[in-house]
A = this chain, B = another copy of it.
């Protein structure tokens, strides 16, 4: 692909104007702005994108799984063919290491291909067939068949911390397109050039696959107004968002106040409590300390799954654990956060906790760079200060020493919803702490044994979700194949003749998918592709 960064929104096959408010990306290493200028979309451009999406809704919603798979794979290929241009721009705009950006591109493309495989195989639609029984008394039983169908045009808001995997061509977009929904993406102002490159990759795939232009648009905006207008737009039927709690909540409220409320899938804040039980501390204090350090400083602590609260027993081994962790933290390279705002927030939050400071990386900082910080407190103090349970986005974590199981249970019970909780211990510890696990189950989307929460495997069983405020919708996941269900709704056909049914629901099962037929799962002898 031959792509230049123009700074204008992508409105179907057209481009936005250069008349809106302009803004620039920043190099987090220096804090200096970098060209070119990006131009905020106008309300007219937003309306045009929404109308194109609405016009494409039915035809794209009727595109078959094989064609959708071809489209998703083409997006992945286009992203790859951007080569170093994409890697360099994303690195420039985020200051994340090249290797991280490369691996994030790999993850983004794998994700697109995983959804391609899913929709090509086709069984994901949860097809159900209940045959008629015309002789049933007192009234005949009708023929009823159901499946998942696309919910309609989806608005996707890019995350600051994953310029590729949770942004323009990331998981929300991939799963919405896979479901058959047109997508309008709001670029994140921290990495607009990366957004435009990824957006061009999608637009080119729409073109080359012969799909309607309304399948994809990308809007830039300096402020919040266009994004909010997008969520308010009557043509939009669902929203995907990854970002701050205040941002997500604002969109939830806008969506709930619409004449027609729509679902918002916002992934917001999580402190990912990590429980280290006495047994492992005796054996592996330093190993776990090193693992925790790697996890809480990964991506300069800008992971939604960063372990932000670590519960430790009051054991004799806890000091060597803390000392090792303090030593590693002090030796951590000072690294730039993504934006000036994230840096200001991080410095404010760590300053508030100054009296709990255990260790801090020492060095001068340029641009948006910050120091890694380690804090510690007791369970008693933690229980009395709700602010200590709030997320600090950046390379900091809080150790909480607890001498009492009751304290732990009480902390777990009063905890907000989280994406994850991790438990380090022996298998017997899990038995002895069944009550703790049962409480944590009601609080999180993912329970992890003997591993840190950073690193979210993209697979069928992954749940990257959790009760509010971790997400806006505890029923869903934004990672893994289950994410496609967010952008679908159930529909059933009663008494339809075979030719008028979708292929997924025809008796002869032309797509060879597995289905629930008269209450029993039926797997075709010839498996799908």
Contacts and interface: CB of A to CB of B under 8 A. Distances in A.
A306 to B, nearest CB: 16
A176 to B, nearest CB: 14
Contacts of A360: none
Interface stretch (A43-51, A311-319, A489-497): A489-497
Given A460-B519, A497-B427, A521-B521, A490 B468 contact: no
A451 B476 CA distance: 35
Interface stretch (A82-90, A144-152, A158-166, A284-292): A144-152
Interface stretch (A1-9, A12-20, A269-277, A439-447): A439-447
Contacts of A57: 442
A77 to B, nearest CB: 22
Contacts of A465: 489-490
Nearest to A462: B144
Interface stretch (A122-130, A207-215, A329-337, A400-408): A122-130
B260 A252 contact: no
Interface stretch (A351-359, A369-377, A381-389, A430-438): A430-438
Given A451-B142, A459-B144, A482-B146, A445 B475 contact: no
Interface in A457-486: 457, 459-463, 465, 467-469, 472-477, 482, 485
Contact of A130 (B461, B472, B500, B516): B461
B499 A427 contact: yes
A53 to B, nearest CB: 13
B130 A457 contact: yes
Given A57-B442, A475-B488, A468 B260 contact: yes
A31 interface: no
A367 interface: no
A450 interface: yes
A442 B152 contact: yes
Contacts of A151: 474-475
Given A457-B141, A494-B449, A261 B468 contact: yes
Interface string A148-185: 01011000000000000000000000000000000000
A62 interface: yes
Nearest to A527: B520
Nearest to A437: B500
Contacts of A438: 58, 62
A447 B492 CA distance: 6
Nearest to A152: B442
B494 A431 contact: no
Contacts of A475: 151, 263, 485, 488-490
Contacts of A450: 495
Given A130-B457, A521-B521, A496 B462 contact: no
Contacts of A521: 123, 514, 521, 523
A455 interface: yes
Given A252-B261, A519-B460, A442 B58 contact: yes
A62 to B, nearest CB: 7
A460 B490 CA distance: 12
A500 B431 CA distance: 7
B499 A431 contact: yes
Nearest to A473: B263
A448 interface: yes
In order of increasing CB-CB distance, the 7 nearest A-B pairs are: A256-B256, A128-B461, A463-B492, A146-B461, A130-B459, A430-B500, A449-B495
15 contacts: A58-B438, A130-B460, A139-B455, A141-B457, A144-B457, A253-B257, A256-B256, A261-B468, A446-B491, A447-B493, A449-B500, A451-B494, A457-B494, A463-B490, A474-B489
Interface of A: 57-58, 61-62, 103, 123, 128-130, 138-139, 141-142, 144-146, 149, 151-152, 252-253, 256-257, 260-261, 263, 417, 427, 430-431, 437-439, 441-442, 444-451, 455, 457, 459-463, 465, 467-469, 472-477, 482, 485, 488-497, 499-500, 514, 516, 518-521, 523, 527
Given A252-B256, A447-B493, A448-B495, 9 more contacts: A130-B457, A141-B459, A142-B457, A144-B462, A146-B482, A151-B475, A261-B468, A449-B494, A460-B516
